[in-house]
Structure 1
Amino acid sequence: MEEHLSPSNAERGQKATLTGIAVNIGLVLIKATTGWLGNSYALIADALESATDIITSTFIWLGLRVAARKPDENHPYGHGKAEPLAAMLVSFALIAAAILIAVQSIQNIQTPHETPKAFTLIVLAGIVLVKEVLFRKMAQVGSEVDSSAVKADAWHQRSDAITSLTAFIGISIALIGGPGYESADDWAALLASGVIVFNAYHIFRPSFGEIMDESPSGNWRAEIEAIALTIPGVERIEKCYVRKTGFEYFVDLHVEVDGDLSVREGHAIAHQVKEAIKSQKPAVYDVLIHIEPSN
């Protein structure tokens, strides 16, 4: 299959996602087993959150593969929207997991049960460390390839680390407090569900903005206008619109030139502007230029 995106960016994003899937498969088994043996619902809830990580990371991986496809007759602008759509799917999955954890936590708070075992703390400490390292690595890749989907997947890993940390705190309180503090573990799981919802919004907002062709953050417009104005014959930039699709950016420019120039000369200037922008801003896939007379 031919690819529309830079193979290095697409492959790096997919590789980071597959790494997350592999790590989470192992953590689900560890968390679920430890939670069951150690009498900790917070840890079982944490295992559930990791299980959603596997599912959503798989959709992220598929979304990245679709986004990498070359434009075709039905999708002349490429398939880049699949990337933020995958990120939005992650946010919805996080909210669903948070609701499930919250409901079960409230039920457990109302039902007396034994205090979690102390050995669960050792397991949780290791899980928090692994998840935080995974988050940092994925967030770095997401920033470097400018992928909302990879960034979303990274934040999903961070939410898992937060869930594990709150479970650690809850179990510690239950063990230190003794009788009467058994439900601290469940309160921790309930608190974690709120944190997960917050992270879901953190993922959803930029992805939704990209779907809606929101202007990208940063100085994209100013930088592109500055590049265009360096081309001989360009007198002014009347309009400049920038939108992000997947890993790449599309630019629409209204460039003012001397009205007495021939069509051929105006076309040559537009071509130079386009090449200059694409050369200095490699993430720009295409530039659509409208030439207007300045007088």
Structure 2
Amino acid sequence: MTQGAVEQSFRFGNTELPPDARDAARKAKRLAWLTIAFLVTAVTLVYLVMGSSQAMKAAWAEDLLSFIPPIAFLVALRVTGRVPSEKHPYGYHRSVGIGHLVAATALLTMGAFLVFDSVSGLLAGEHPPVGLIVVLGHEIWSGWLMVIVLAYTCVPAVLLGRAKMPLAEQLHDRVLHADADMNKADWMTGVGGIVGVLGIGVGLWWADSAAALFISASILHDGVKNLRSAVAALMDARATTVDGSEPHPLGGAIDETLRGLEWVGSAASRVRDQGHVFHVEAFVVARDGMPTQEQLQQAWDAVTDLDWKVEDLVVVPVDELPEELLPGLRRHP
């Protein structure tokens, strides 16, 4: 790959990433590939030892689903590098939202199925057999192999999740954030599976189904949470932080910057989250009639210099701020 191609892969449309964000994108890409490599080993090992344990089957299904977010992130990272075209004048930033929606839908669907399957097994009183296996000429309880494999799947996933989380916030990437969130919570899947397997060992037949239900409910919860966030973003909800917990601070900073200009009497904006970047419509009321072209250019420069995430900005001079377009004015005059 040429140097030009490398740089292109770390652009978001027309946005040239600053050095720190470019480094974050490179690290996130490496971590995504590392996650996929780890999951290959985890899925293979869990499949080889799972037997008829429902908890192990649920853990295996979660590991399979864990492939979706890093793959979606890598695809979205490549697609968002394309510059806007005549057919797509706003660029390809929405690919992040599409990847988030696909991952969330897969989690929700599989989680719902596994919850149903786990509850059915619990109500049916299924007793999963966990027998002996010969390893190097010695008979051992196969449950110990399950415990070792589950313990192996816990630690790398948690470390990967912790490494991805700050990068997701820096890049404002919801797919990467969902991936990191799932990785960080994988220790609960591993511990739940271990408890279920050990429960079988001490004669608690229901422990396996209960552990499977716990793991399945965790998958379903991740699916519901991410689906809600993905749909809200695609419906042009107010731009929020990457975890969707609160309004993005850049929205307030934009209004503050515009109001700080000498010629601006009042200003308010609406910010649309396109994926990694924001599209902003800023309404300004000038102190002395219609602003000049130089003043509008000053406003544009001041806002776009705030953060690389402000990719597209429209400055609209108005006689008074339009409440019908800025419903938040009623709460924040």
When normalised by structure 2's length, the TM-score is 0.78
Match of 1:68 in 2: 81
Match of 1:80 in 2: 93
1:220 correspondence with 2:246? no
1:192 correspondence with 2:215? yes
1:281 correspondence with 2:311? no
Give the SS at the match of 1:270.
helix
* Contact 1:50 1:160 (C-alpha < 8 Å) held by counterparts: no
Matches within 5 A, 1:88-167: 88-109=101-122, 110=124, 111-115=126-130, 117-167=143-193
Give the SS at the match of 2:38.
helix
- Please tell me the residue identity of whatever aligns with 1:149: V
1:33 correspondence with 2:48? yes
- Please tell me the residue identity of whatever aligns with 1:272: Q
Matches within 5 A, 1:263-274: 266-274=292-300
Match of 1:58 in 2: 71
* Contact 1:258 1:293 (C-alpha < 8 Å) held by counterparts: no
Q: Which runs of 5+ in 2 are unaligned?
A: 131-141, 240-246, 321-333
Q: Which runs of 5+ in 1 are unaligned?
A: none
Residue 117 of structure 1 deviates from its aligned partner by 1.4
* Contact 1:20 1:134 (C-alpha < 8 Å) held by counterparts: yes
* Contact 1:248 1:285 (C-alpha < 8 Å) held by counterparts: yes
Name the CA shift for 1:24/1:232 in 2 (closer, same or farther; >3 Å).
same
User: Alignment length, in residue pairs?
Assistant: 285
Percent identity (aligned): 19
Higher helix share: 1
Match of 1:182 in 2: 205
Give the SS at the match of 1:112.
coil
Say which is worse superposed, 102-111 or 128-137, in terms of deviation.
Answer: 102-111
Give the SS at the match of 1:235.
strand
When normalised by structure 1's length, the TM-score is 0.87
Match of 1:19 in 2: 34
Question: RMSD between aligned alpha carbons?
Answer: 2.3
* Contact 2:100 2:174 (C-alpha < 8 Å) held by counterparts: yes
Per-residue CA distance 1:93-144 (angstroms, 9 max, x = gap)? 1122223323443454433332461332232222212221122122222112
Name the CA shift for 1:55/1:236 in 2 (closer, same or farther; >3 Å).
closer
Name the CA shift for 1:258/1:117 in 2 (closer, same or farther; >3 Å).
closer
User: Whole-Å Cα distance in 2 between the matches of residues 17 and 171 of structure 1?
Assistant: 30
Give the SS at the match of 1:117.
helix
Matches within 5 A, 1:199-278: 199-216=222-239, 217-237=247-267, 239-260=268-289, 266-278=292-304
Say which is worse superposed, 183-192 or 53-62, in terms of deviation.
Answer: 53-62
Residue 260 of structure 1 deviates from its aligned partner by 4.4
Per-residue CA distance 1:173-193 (angstroms, 9 max, x = gap)? 332xx23x1231122011211
Say which is worse superposed, 270-279 or 219-228, in terms of deviation.
Answer: 219-228
User: Whole-Å Cα distance in 1 between the matches of residues 197 and 127 of structure 2?
Assistant: 15
User: Whole-Å Cα distance in 2 between the matches of residues 156 and 84 of structure 1?
Assistant: 17
User: Whole-Å Cα distance in 2 between the matches of residues 169 and 147 of structure 1?
Assistant: 34
Say which is worse superposed, 56-65 or 129-138, in terms of deviation.
Answer: 56-65
Say which is worse superposed, 282-291 or 211-220, in terms of deviation.
Answer: 211-220
